[in-house]
Every structure is written in structure tokens, then in C-alpha cells.
Chains A and B, each alone.
Chain A
Amino acid sequence: QVQLQQWGAGLVKPSETLSLTCAVNGGSLTGYYWNWIRQSPGNGLEWIGQISHSGGINYNPSLKSRVTILVDTSKNQISLNLSSVTAADTAMFFCARSHISRQLTFDSWAQGTLVTVSS
């Protein structure tokens, strides 16, 4: 059974770049999309974007100018960079899997990383 494990800096300064990584253990990247989703008290759950094993990418238009999602097939990992962060980007960030047949239904989630934006 696939397990998603994520990590990254929990404290980021304003205007800097938030970086998170998600490792896919016990499963293949192939046949799925790999998503980043964030959750905050003010904005609830918000989909950030997704990438397929072959590098196909979709971003939320509201964040597209600041988001980069990458896949490293050699390591079975996905990464998220969110640039020029502000306090409004403080949230719990999750990586999540979706099957290519239902690429926006999230059937497996990592445990989440709390990221605080503060100087």
C-alpha cells in the first residue's frame, strides 16, 4: 500500500520561497497525478496544483505565478516551491495522490506539514 511522506521547512520568512518534498513509498508514480493542497483557517482547503509522472502539470490560476511543482522519477519524489510568500500563505500543506482516470479526486494523502510565514 502506497505511503506518502512529506517534509520541508516549517518556518519561512516573508518574500522567501517555501519548499516541500513528498516521497512516494511502496508504489509507483506511473498512472497517477501528484497534488499539493493546503489548508488554513481562513481559506479552508485549497488545491495548489498537480504533476504526473511524465511531467504534465496543472496549477491553480490563483497561485500559478508563484508555484513550481517538479517530479523526480529517480527518487520517486515530488516537490513544491511557492515563491514570494506572505503571512497569508501560512497553512498546513499536504501532498495527495489522484488516479489518472479521476485526476482531481484525492485518494491518498500524506500527513501534512505546517508552514508558518513569519520574520
Chain B
Amino acid sequence: DIVLTQSPATLSLSPGERATLSCRASQDVVDFLAWYQQKPGQAPRLLIYDASNRATGIPARFSGSASGTDFTLTISSLEPEDFAVYYCQQRSSWPPTFGQGTRLEIK
């Protein structure tokens, strides 16, 4: 199975700051990588698919990029509702796999 390694495990920032979350794949996943946001007590929500495409209804402050096996989720200016756990997930190889998550917390 493809292993996705997310870093950092926890990111402490203030509202208005820029957040940069990373996900590294253990092998090539092309651009078949998605990002999800999960808040306590809720299901994950799709933010970005295929590395850089925003899902329906996702604000423009969320963006994704890729460089080889390294993927980045950027939140340009944090809003209070953005503090949550973020997961990456690959669909390049069966079975699909998820990263272990990055917790974005208020500093």
C-alpha cells in the first residue's frame, strides 16, 4: 500500500496567518491526491481533489499544489472555522490510503 506521511503533526497558528500543510507519498501517485478537513464530531469534508482542484463550495483561500511525490495544502489567511484536522488521501493505487493527519490549532 502507498504510505502518505503528513507534516507537521500539529501546526499552531493565529487567525489571519498563512498555513502550509505537507503530504509526502511513498511512491508516485501522479496528481491523484485529495485533501479533507475534519472537525470534532463530524465526518471529513472534501476540500481539494487531484492535487489542485477545489471541491464544490470550498473557499478560494484553500489551494493545493504538487511537486513529484510532495503535496501541499495552503490556506492563505486562516479563518476561525479553519482550525481542524486535515488529511491527504491518494487514489492512484489500490487500496486508496490516507495520511495520519495534521492538526491545525489556534496559537
- Interface, chain A (partner B; CB < 8 A): 44-47, 58, 60-62, 94, 96, 102-112
Contact = CB atoms under 8 A, between A and B. Distances in A.
Contacts of B49: 102, 105, 107
A111 B43 contact: yes
A107 B47 CA distance: 9
23 contacts: A45-B89, A45-B98, A47-B97, A47-B98, A61-B94, A61-B95, A62-B95, A94-B43, A94-B44, A102-B49, A104-B32, A104-B96, A105-B34, A105-B46, A105-B49, A105-B89, A106-B44, A106-B46, A107-B49, A107-B56, A108-B46, A109-B45, A111-B42
Report the contact-size class of chain B (Cβ under 8 Å from the partner): 20 to 34
Given A102-B50, A104-B91, A47 B96 contact: yes
Given A102-B50, A106-B46, A107-B55, 7 more contacts: A44-B87, A44-B99, A45-B44, A61-B95, A94-B43, A107-B56, A112-B43
A110 B56 CA distance: 17
A102 B43 contact: no
Contacts of B14: none
Nearest to A112: B43
